[in-house]
Structure 1
Amino acid sequence: MFLSYVKQVTQLLTNFSRLCQKRRLFLKGTGQNGKVLPPKLNRRNAKNTRTLACWVSPKVKAKEVLMLFLSHYLLFPPQRENMVLLREGMCPGLDEDLVRRLRNAQVKTVEDLVSSDMEDLAQKCSGSYQALIAIRRVLLAQHAAFAVSGADLYDELLASTAILSTGNSALDALLDSGVYTGEITELAGGPGSGKTQVCLGTAAHVSHHLRQNVVYVDTTGGLSASRLHQMLRSQTSSDTEQMEALQRISVHRAFDIFSLLDRLYQLGGDGLRQEASGGSAKALIVDSVSAVIAPLLGSRHHEGMHMMSQVALALKTMAKDFNIAVLVTNHVTRSQEGEVRPGLGASWGHVPRVRVLLERLPAVGRPAIRSATLIKSSRRPCFLQAELDLESWSGCERAMSAKRTLDAAVS
């Protein structure tokens, strides 16, 4: 099986050599008639990318050959390696002796067993027909994919989905009651638009009022513990409740894409269930994803897109597998027509289920008011707008602002 696969790869590189000759590019070891004369391959060095790279002349980028090799592996992988091999203890009744007899009968994988005639197989391996039927039934239940009705999916959605309030009534109304678990919600806006303020307010509200654990990943250094504590003090005067709410918020810092991916992978490996005391986390906040992804989307476009897709996959997987609400922030750019839109391009636009654009308002005397526009949603019409009061999470700031206004009017 593997030798035939090596021959296929050799033929692939032969075709690539002919293409290179047409483009006046040459491969080392190219003989007559465009045939490639590769070094001796075996199972060990055939998987070594350095072997493939040194095979190619410096005039030809090794990356091109490697990408061809990987694409061929993805399109035509060895079929036997993708099948589940039968082994002892896989299910009741499948002992070492039966596995050996099945292999002697050329039944080596689960697919071989479930697709075989049980009567004929019982005669070949001198086994019990009833035992083979029972083993086949168990293996089908473990490895087969069964159709699920839409009603069952809807019932599962209702049982697993929760709505977490952000603590701001206007934002909750715009988001159809709040952020949903199992989804990614994005806040996009320029500097000073209030993205971090909304993230801090949501974390404080979820940890104190909803008594749920929150994981906060800071990539910009904008998280302020004193600001978070100030929000909690405006919501409760009890020091004990304030400390309990702070303990439910787990803070992580990641200032580059590799640290962020490493942190997300750690959290995805049951890390969310162990982060905070009192149960698993219900919300994940990343402020912001664009701060670590955008620097990679310049000249190194392909590498940046790959890293961005890894972050997107990790966030989606965590949202679904752990049934948590994911809230991320993004920067904004301007189109050629001058229209403000979220950053990271069209590829990232498919990642969040809900997108909200935050903008400053030029209103005099109302510095904490922001305009929020719903630009993507599967539940509500797009381009709905609302005015957010960023001081709604901090009653003490509102009182101080009113006092300053009164003092200015008196003077």
Structure 2
Amino acid sequence: MSSLKSLESEYPIIDSNFHKFCASHAIFTVEDFLLNDVYVLVAFAECQSNSKELKQGITQVLSIIDSLHPPWMNGVDLLTDAQRNKQVLSTGCEGLDLLLGGGLHEGQLTELVGPSSSGKTQVCLQAATTIAYKCRASVVFVDTCNSFSSRRIADFVDRLLNPSLKQAKHKTLERIMSNVSCHSVFDIFGLLDLLHRLEMKLKTQVKTNDCKLRLLIIDSISSLITPILGGGAHGHSLMVSAGFLLKKLAHEHDLSVLVTNHMVGGEGGSSKPALGESWKNVSHVQLLLSHALGSNLYNISILKHPCMASGQVAEFTMLE
């Protein structure tokens, strides 16, 4: 979402006086409104000499937030969208691709869940490498815990190349790395700002001949959301806003979005995906990844899928 300053040219009511009022309440972005009680804010505005203009500004910001919610779609709209020519992107993990009917689907948000050291980051890096190489596409990798490894990508490239193409390894690696953009983000506000800037860029992408963005990876989404959930309803609202914006990007720009999530303790000592039921409803596909230490064999199972039964399992190996 935008900073309030960036909205001034499009919405004149959001002027310098409105900025000063908001700044006095530590509100600088649209997201900050989600962290404030609107009724209390209106009460403060009513005490000002320019209360009418301030309340109009508050109403304008609320309408901007409301516009971010998806419109109603009837059955014809849903069928038309389902029949659009959206492609399936191979992850480079054969068993995972077979399980998903070819790989990651454009227009969908896929969530990869697993305990620590289960291989979630490795799957993300291999998918980024494979899609940048085979599709000659652009990939955005959002790194929230210093997990991105260019050396690991070089290892995957080495395995992808035929022996006869080894001499072209350096050139191929250079091309792939130029197509994979890594952004370090360490809080939810940084993520929302990055997604907003990415949305603006994608709106102009159709008009250029740039390498098309096909995959957006966030490793890991739970590292950004878990710290804010203790804030009650405000933290929950930020989580929902992030999830909606990810799905909006996927749907409107035919992206495949891949996020990772960790496990937490559940009832009876069992483990379950972090972030709760509300987040589970955000993702289109939710997969559980497990890996035995000392082995290069990985197990993947479907927890949630729009057209496949839960519980289906596959195995695959990965470069050690």
TM-score greater than 0.5 by the shorter chain: yes
Q: Contact 1:49–1:66 (CA<8 Å) still a contact in 2?
A: no
2:104 pairs with 1:179: yes
Q: What residue is the counterpart of 1:352 in the other structure?
A: 283
Give the number of aligned pairs. 264
Moved more, 263-272 or 247-256: 263-272
Aligned mate of 1:228, from 153, 173, 181: 153
Cα 1:169–1:301, aligned 2, differ >3 Å: closer, same or farther? same
Cα 1:376–1:148, aligned 2, differ >3 Å: closer, same or farther? closer
Q: Contact 1:163–1:180 (CA<8 Å) still a contact in 2?
A: yes
**5+ long unaligned stretches in structure 2:** 1-16, 26-35, 44-54, 61-70
2:261 pairs with 1:333: no
Q: In 1, Cα distance between the equivalents of 2:153 and 2:272?
A: 29
- The alignment's C-alpha RMSD in Å is 3.3
| Counterpart residue type for residue 343 of structure 1 | A
Secondary structure, aligned partner of 2:315: strand
After TM superposition, give the deviation of residue 314 of structure 1 in Å: 1.3
What is the TM-score with the length of structure 1 in the denominator? 0.58
Q: In 2, Cα distance between the equivalents of 1:253 and 1:297?
A: 21
Q: In 1, Cα distance between the equivalents of 2:80 and 2:296?
A: 41
Q: Contact 1:194–1:390 (CA<8 Å) still a contact in 2?
A: no
Deviations 1:257-304 (A, max 9, x none): 111111111101125866x98332011111111011111122x22232
2:179 pairs with 1:254: no
Cα 1:65–1:175, aligned 2, differ >3 Å: closer, same or farther? same
- Greater CA radius of gyration, 1 or 2? 1
Q: In 2, Cα distance between the equivalents of 1:382 and 1:348?
A: 18
Cα 1:158–1:64, aligned 2, differ >3 Å: closer, same or farther? closer
What is the TM-score with the length of structure 2 in the denominator? 0.73
Q: In 2, Cα distance between the equivalents of 1:250 and 1:370?
A: 27
After TM superposition, give the deviation of residue 225 of structure 1 in Å: 1.0
Q: In 1, Cα distance between the equivalents of 2:173 and 2:23?
A: 56
Q: In 2, Cα distance between the equivalents of 1:258 and 1:374?
A: 31
Q: In 1, Cα distance between the equivalents of 2:75 and 2:269?
A: 46
Q: In 2, Cα distance between the equivalents of 1:215 and 1:50?
A: 33
After TM superposition, give the deviation of residue 223 of structure 1 in Å: 0.5
**5+ long unaligned stretches in structure 1:** 1-43, 53-61, 70-76, 83-144, 392-396, 398-411
Q: Contact 1:219–1:287 (CA<8 Å) still a contact in 2?
A: yes
Q: What residue is the counterpart of 2:222 in the other structure?
A: 290
Q: What residue is the counterpart of 1:66 in the other structure?
A: 40
Cα 1:339–1:146, aligned 2, differ >3 Å: closer, same or farther? closer
Q: In 2, Cα distance between the equivalents of 1:63 and 1:215?
A: 35
Q: In 1, Cα distance between the equivalents of 2:134 and 2:221?
A: 27
